Amino acid sequence: MKSLVTQSVVAGCALLLGLLVAQGSDAQTIKLGELNSYKQFPAFLEPYRKGMDLAIDEINAAGGVLGRPLEIVSRDDNGNAGDAVRVAEELITREKSVLLMGTFASNVGLAVADLAKQRKVLFLAAEPLTDKIVWENGNRYTFRLRASTYMQTAMLVPEAVRLKKKRWAIVYPNYEYGQAATATFKQQLSASQSGGIEFIEQAVTLGKIEAGPVVQALVDAKPDAIFSSLFGPDLARFVREGQLRGLFKDRPVLNLLGGEPEYLDPLKDEAPEGWYVTGYPWYAIDTPAHKRFRDAYQAKYKDYPRLGSVVGYSTVRAAAAALQKAGSTDTERLVGAMSGLTFESPFGRIMFRAIDHQSTMGAYVGRTAVRDGKGVMVDWHYNDGKDFLPTDDLVRRLRPMR
């Protein structure tokens, strides 16, 4: 009996010791709370997740940050603003995350940004492109990584001006991102080109485009050129139906995001040719920073990176740089560190502007082509985001004091 009691005591002590060690280890981990629409947008967000994991592996292998390993605690927000707020609260309260990061859709990003303001927690918006997140709805606690709708549209407008077309058809997903892209394109083109420009608009429900009627309406409208902000399955259906009905024959097309491999690759040899796009020619970028990233990504995953991979990787790198600069996980110190923060990304050095919390991450602009049975970008160049940001005076008018 004594032997059994002794064994029980020893076993109990071992279990208690194990729990204490586990708790101590967990307490030493810096948790980054991440939420995104993985089920809704897998083409972009699966590579994004891989990019995050690569960055975490590299950072932790080098000793972590502040002497502690980083851990990503991730949740799916279902592409829904209400769900996003709920899981963000969970990441803050239950998981004790030191910051929030992620989101894809603009409306979801805006909802989380508002929560960050209320709860006074740092939110690093990785992907949502809406300008409101740093301007009209901007707040002290929210910073955005990717080049915005305004910035990427501004990169394509010079191409539109050179075409000297007067009658433009615009097709866009009818939610915050598409609406903002349309308004920005109209404003910027009208400011850059002499009068007499006409715009014909076709709004479609995100993810539910009825490509036949939309394309036929544009064919009947006989525009001189087309500006599109469609992406994902909507873009693929639009391209296929447009080619079938001859919409693109002898008609220039500009498409935001259309050169991203997430959306170009699935079209294979059906990819459009000659479109002006923003995108990511991963196969041809040979800067030292990008080559290091691409080689590491391919070695880890036996696959090529997509733009989502770059965004996920850069988001984690930015969070780590903020923690290092702050020297703390305290929110106010992190917010202070994010203002004017610089860090290295696969696209080179990036800075978060103090005036509006927008990063200077740029984008690649080029034209689409089909090579060896797949869509690629040709005649591309990198546009540094800092050259396409609005002036400080304009930002002061757009962004309230918060």
Give the domain CATH number at 172: 3.40.50.2300
SS3 52: helix
pTM score, whole prediction: 0.91
Instruction: Give a yes or no: residue 10 inside a domain.
Output: no
In a shared domain, residues 210 and 358: no
Please classify residue 117 by burial: count the beta carbons closer than 10 Å to its beta carbon, then call 0-12 exposed, 13-18 middle and 19+ buried: middle
Instruction: Give a yes or no: residue 20 inside a domain.
Output: no
Instruction: Give a yes or no: residue 4 inside a domain.
Output: no
Helices and strands, number each (H, E), in the chain: 13, 14
Instruction: Give a yes or no: residue 380 inside a domain.
Output: yes
Tokens of 326: 């702050």
In a shared domain, residues 154 and 258: yes
In a shared domain, residues 172 and 268: yes
Strands 142-144 and 276-279: unpaired
How many independent structural domains does the chain possess? 2
In a shared domain, residues 243 and 117: no
Helices assigned H by DSSP within 62-171: 81-93, 106-119, 149-163
Q: If you search the block for the tokens 């076709």, which residue do you land on?
A: 202
User: What's residue 402's pLDDT?
Assistant: 53
Instruction: Give a yes or no: residue 8 inside a domain.
Output: no
CA pair distance 53, 66, nearest whole angstrom: 19
User: What's residue 401's pLDDT?
Assistant: 64
Cβ atoms within 10 Å, residue 348: 15
SS3 200: strand
In a shared domain, residues 294 and 172: no
In a shared domain, residues 126 and 170: no
Q: Residue 50: which domain range?
A: 25-148+286-362
In a shared domain, residues 260 and 375: yes
Tokens of 11: 């076993």
In a shared domain, residues 249 and 342: no
Instruction: Give a yes or no: residue 95 inside a domain.
Output: yes
In a shared domain, residues 140 and 51: yes
Q: Which residues contact 109 (CB under 8 A, 6 or more apart)?
A: 103, 125, 127, 128, 130, 133, 144
182: left (phi over 0), alpha (psi -120 to 50) or beta: alpha
Through-space distance between the first and last CA atoms of the chain, rounded to whole angstroms: 70
pLDDT in tens, the chain (402 residues): 444 444 444 444 444 334 333 343 444 999 999 999 999 999 999 999 999 999 999 999 999 999 999 999 999 999 999 999 999 999 999 999 999 999 999 999 999 999 999 999 999 999 999 999 999 999 999 999 999 999 999 999 999 999 999 999 999 999 889 999 999 999 999 999 988 899 999 999 999 999 999 999 999 999 999 999 999 999 999 999 999 999 999 999 999 999 999 999 999 999 999 999 999 999 999 999 999 999 999 999 999 999 999 999 999 999 999 999 999 999 999 999 999 999 999 999 999 999 999 999 999 999 999 999 999 999 999 999 999 998 999 899 988 765
Instruction: Give a yes or no: residue 89 inside a domain.
Output: yes
In a shared domain, residues 325 and 195: no
Instruction: Give a yes or no: residue 401 inside a domain.
Output: no
CA atoms within 13 A on the CB side of 312: 26
User: What's residue 293's pLDDT?
Assistant: 98
Q: Which residues contact 307 (CB under 8 A, 6 or more apart)?
A: 44, 47, 260, 261, 262, 279, 280
In a shared domain, residues 220 and 345: no
In a shared domain, residues 252 and 369: yes
